[in-house]
């Protein structure tokens, strides 16, 4: 390895690493109260600001469901900024194998791929602070344009279509092909790839909705609207707008909403930023990103790695990465903590 890339382990002697708390006892008491009020099984799907919906979550949720077993109904608490839509489909497919009735409760943000996850529920109960979002997909392709920092720019199908429509409205001439003007800036393969991921997003929504919505035309209309109706990916779809879309959305019970916000506060404490600075160029990250929980079991992903800033390359790199999924479960009167292995 070149000398410029040789990095010694960061200085740790005498420095105590910051670790976020694991509030299993506190959150389990809240889950017990929630299940008593709901009268059915309660399951948590929670992401911190740095967490996301990902494929490994599917195995994590399976770990929780395997302990709980099949249930007549499951209420799923969702709080996430999004991630992989394909993981959302896998999560819905998994949940539906353990229950015939799925209800999503949304007290806060439930965006992008998390909105897709909520689409798989028979009902979506939304609190005063809750919002879904559009699910249109943008893509940073290897041939995407470069920005001023020499980074690849994400391109979305909606942006491309808006450029084409504006061009056609302004030029009003069949003799001019707008794509000929776009190709010097956006490679044709990028346009094809963006169209492909946009089609994938519509397909995912329709497939997820089909688990409970048998009206194919209605499912298609909802899917198309979520992918192309909104001028911003983060446009907040509130309860009123969700109903206009045709979703089976209802107001969240006020007392239930307060309990969920209390649970979110506990998770936010667990997911707090936990960085130990060794010096200007070295630190250690211990943040908890994703939390999945049911009665008697919690599975969460925790970062456990050093970061080093390479001055020559002007970027941060990871060292000594021991990040992993972890499990806390109640075994009789004792709590057992272990690594939850996901390959």
Please give the pLDDT value at position 265. Answer: 96
Question: Which of these ranges, 63-72, 147-156, 200-209, 267-276, has the smallest mean pLDDT?
Answer: 147-156
Sign of CA dihedral 279, 318, 91, 218: positive
Measured in whole angstroms, the distance separating CA 72 from the mean position of its chain's CA atoms is 26
pLDDT tens digits for range 111-150: 999 999 999 999 999 999 999 998 876 545 565 666 666 6
**pLDDT above 90: residue 74:** yes
- Do residues 78 and 109 lie in contact, with contact meaning Cβ atoms separated by under 8 Å? no
Please give the pLDDT value at position 5. Answer: 47
148 against 70, higher pLDDT: 70
Domain extents in the chain: 21-134+234-273+288-301+321-340, 136-229
21-134+234-273+288-301+321-340: which CATH topology?
Answer: 2-enoyl-CoA Hydratase; Chain A, domain 1 (3.90.226)
Please give the pLDDT value at position 148. Answer: 64
Question: Which of these ranges, 33-42, 76-85, 186-195, has the smallest mean pLDDT?
Answer: 186-195
First to last CA, the chain: 29
Distance CA 191, CA 46 (A): 34
Q: Which helix (H) or strand (E) holds 266?
A: helix 254-270
232 against 49, higher pLDDT: 49
pLDDT tens digits for range 200-211: 778 889 999 999
Q: How confident is the model at residue 155 (pLDDT cuts 50, 70, 90)?
A: low
CA distances from 82 to 45, 131, 197, 237, 332 (A): 12, 12, 16, 14, 36
**pLDDT above 50: residue 334:** yes
Tokens of 103: 């209800």
Mean pLDDT of the chain: 85
Q: How confident is the model at residue 4 (pLDDT cuts 50, 70, 90)?
A: very low
Query: Quick one: what percent of the chain has pLDDT higher than 70?
Result: 78
- Do residues 59 and 87 lie in contact, with contact meaning Cβ atoms separated by under 8 Å? no
What one-character-per-residue DSSP string does 179-209 give? HHHHTTTS-HHHHHHHHHHHHHHHHHHHHHH
Question: Which of these ranges, 91-100, 196-205, 305-314, has the smallest mean pLDDT?
Answer: 196-205
> Which pTM value belongs to this model?
0.82
């Amino acid at each position: 390895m070149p000398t410029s890339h040789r990095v010694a382990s960061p200085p740790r002697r005498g420095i105590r690493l910051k670790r976020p708390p694991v509030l299993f006892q506190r959150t389990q008491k809240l889950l017990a109260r929630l299940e008593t009020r709901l009268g059915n099984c309660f399951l948590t799907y929670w992401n911190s600001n740095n967490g996301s919906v990902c494929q490994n979550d599917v195995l994590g949720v399976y770990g929780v469901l395997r302990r709980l077993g099949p249930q007549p109904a499951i209420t799923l608490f969702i709080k996430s900024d999004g991630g992989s839509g394909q993981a959302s489909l896998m999560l819905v497919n998994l949940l539906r194998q353990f229950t015939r009735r799925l209800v999503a409760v949304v007290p806060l943000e439930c965006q992008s791929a998390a909105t897709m996850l909520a689409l798989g529920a028979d009902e979506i109960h939304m609190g005063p602070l809750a919002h879904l979002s559009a699910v249109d997909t943008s893509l940073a392709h290897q041939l995407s344009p470069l920005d001023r920092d020499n980074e690849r720019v994400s391109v979305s199908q909606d942006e491309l279509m808006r450029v084409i429509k504006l061009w056609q409205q302004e030029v009003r001439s069949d003799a001019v092909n707008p794509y000929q003007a776009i190709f010097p800036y956006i490679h044709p393969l990028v346009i094809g790839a963006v169209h492909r991921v946009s089609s994938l997003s519509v397909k995912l929504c329709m497939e997820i909705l089909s688990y409970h919505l048998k009206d194919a035309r209605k499912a298609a209309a909802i899917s198309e609207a979520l992918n192309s109706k909104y001028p911003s990916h983060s446009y907040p779809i509130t309860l009123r707008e969700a109903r206009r879309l045709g979703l089976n959305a209802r107001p969240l019970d006020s007392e239930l909403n307060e309990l969920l916000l209390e649970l979110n506060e506990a998770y936010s404490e667990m997911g707090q930023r936990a960085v130990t600075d060794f010096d200007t160029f070295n630190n250690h990250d211990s943040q908890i990103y994703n939390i999945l929980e049911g009665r008697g079991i919690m599975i969460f992903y925790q970062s456990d790695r050093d970061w080093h800033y390479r001055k020559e390359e002007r970027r941060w790199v990871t060292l000594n990465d021991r990040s992993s999924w972890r499990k806390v479960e109640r075994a009789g009167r004792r709590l057992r903590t272990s690594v939850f292995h996901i390959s």
